[in-house]
Structure 1
């Protein structure tokens, strides 16, 4: 099973509730990447920073950078690579690097009672937003990537980005089928 291609995020719930496939658990110094073509997890790199949240991809959603759309899932305890989490998007951190836009959706697990009252990015403590911002700035520095943190956006914008990314994924499939590509 291809965790990016075969797991469906479909209406009526998507894009207001989506699945996230976790690549890198919260607290890990290792960055794991789901290789969609190999259908397996690979060690991307080792960082001097630990991830502030579970980090992964949204199945069947293609980001502007040509990669699966990324998502940070705010869990109390780390899960594991390959864990599928039903997630409510609450906001987005917008970034830009040498390859263009690099947006990360922020979400909370639907099945976590402590997340019930979190509906939007404004419901999070400022210190958590600062921790996430710091992580991405320092991570980029350590990887010699020129990254700019553009800012934070609300749930409405996150849902719009997910919707657009799902459309991009479907467009990619249509183009591939026209040329009989995998």
Structure 2
């Protein structure tokens, strides 16, 4: 059986529509990305607001970071958390409002490697970037390995204003 004429007719018919067909799988992928983006946008707005209000001398693509399963935590220069992205709850069970005002040490405990903690403290005191994997504690007491890329944030006059950490579950 030759279906060539039928296939040509179907193709001609489908091409006559102004709307094009897409496989359902493409919509599933897009919707997943769109939902992630929609959840991240309020955090992106707040982070940009913090950057402008504090006259940051740095630029980060917060939207890209927050749509790639990265948690963002910002502290003031005294290491009190002033911002945590909403997706922190997926990492460790804490809601942003539960961590704001606390030190990031709230995530550490008995099994946190003190040497790694000291290395992070040293980098913070010296106002230099760091990248470390540290054992942290979830709200329920369970452990997770956290890969932290931390950076001091200076204002345009060179004064230390904040610290920012981009955190992911370590593999």
Query: Which TM-score bucket, shorter chain as reference?
Result: under 0.3
User: Between Structure 1 and Structure 2, whose CA radius of gyration is higher?
Assistant: 2
**TM-score by structure 1 length?**
0.21
User: TM-score normalised to the size of structure 2?
Assistant: 0.22
